[in-house]
Amino acid sequence: MDLAQTVALTETDMVIRLCLGFLAGAVIGFERSSRHQIAGLRTHILIAVGATLLMILSIWLPQYFNSLKNGDPGRIAAQVVSGIGFLGAGAIVRLGNNVKGLTTAASLWLIAAVGLAIGAGAYVAALTAEVLSLFTLIALDYFEKKLFPSERNKLLELGYKDNIPDTQEALEVLKSFGVRVISIDVDQPRGKSKGGRLKLLAGVPVATNISKLAAALKESARVERFEIKEKY
């Protein structure tokens, strides 16, 4: 039996693969949309369907045109891998000292690869990649937040009545709230003036209750004034 006939794409094969590409993009896109990411449901669907179509064309063109029997099915696919980087870069946003969108950019790159796999007829590989990516985005996200809570870099300023701030007590209170101190600057007034200041650059967990933190510092560490600012 001629090998070209066994792998020849039919219109039915094309429709099935495009629908599977749509479904693969919708699953990952729905998860991203549920987290209110820049690239969501429609973006992932369009990328998956587009990648699937390009892979189908890479396979179909040499079959349809007899003069292209030696065509390379991987040539268009390689261009998809390079081109998807532009869309991924658009999903990355810098907010102050924090960068958001890296996971979404990675999911765009992955869904393009899944679309190429579906277009090539590698259904098992595409399904495996889809399941593993969903496990990473949903299950591992939960465990990652438990083990490594999300934090933002903040500038903390603690004002004291005394000239010499009690650094140790303040650090113990911050540690109890999960605050990671990066750097410390102690400002001691000169002469007869009073009121020492403690400035800290710290990683503050997103879930931290700032009101309770301020109250604990004023009670335990004898802090008179507490300010928190974004680090840019």
Residues 44 and 110 in one domain: yes
* Residue whose pair of structure tokens reads 């309770």 in the numeric block: 212
Residues 127 and 159 in one domain: no
pLDDT given at position 4: 42
The pLDDT tens digits for 65-90 are 665 556 676 777 788 877 887 777 77
Residues 87 and 190 in one domain: no
Burial of residue 180 (CB within 10 Å: 0-12, 13-18, 19+) is: middle
* Residue whose pair of structure tokens reads 């590698």 in the numeric block: 122
Of 94, 126, 147, at which residue does a domain stop? 147
Question: For residue 49, what are its two tokens?
Answer: 């369907």
Q: What is the CATH number of the domain that holds 212?
A: 3.30.70.260
Residues 168 and 124 in one domain: no
Q: How many domains does the chain have?
A: 2
158-179 per-residue burial string, b: 16 or more CB within 10 A, e: under 16: bebeeeebbeeebbebbeebeb
Residues 157 and 174 in one domain: yes
SS3 assignment, position 191: coil
Q: 0.85 exceeded by the pTM? A: no
Q: What is the DSSP string of 1-46?
A: --HHHHS---HHHHHHHHHHHHHHHHHHHHHHHHTT-SS-HHHHHH
pLDDT given at position 228: 85
Residues 117 and 177 in one domain: no
Residues 85 and 116 in one domain: yes
Residues 9 and 120 in one domain: yes
Residues 129 and 212 in one domain: no
Residues 7 and 47 in one domain: yes
Task: Give residue 195's domain range.
Answer: 151-230
Low-confidence ranges of the chain (pLDDT < 70): 1-7, 65-71, 73, 94-99, 149, 163-166, 188-195, 221, 231-232
Residues 92 and 105 in one domain: yes
Question: For residue 207, what are its two tokens?
Answer: 């879930």
Of 115, 131, 147, at which residue does a domain stop? 147
pLDDT given at position 225: 84
Residues 6+ apart with CB under 8 A from 119: 17, 21, 51, 52, 53, 54, 55, 56, 58, 59
Residues paired with 100 in a beta bridge: 93
Residues 162 and 53 in one domain: no
Phi and psi torsions of 194, nearest 5°: -120, 165
Question: For residue 7, what are its two tokens?
Answer: 């792998």
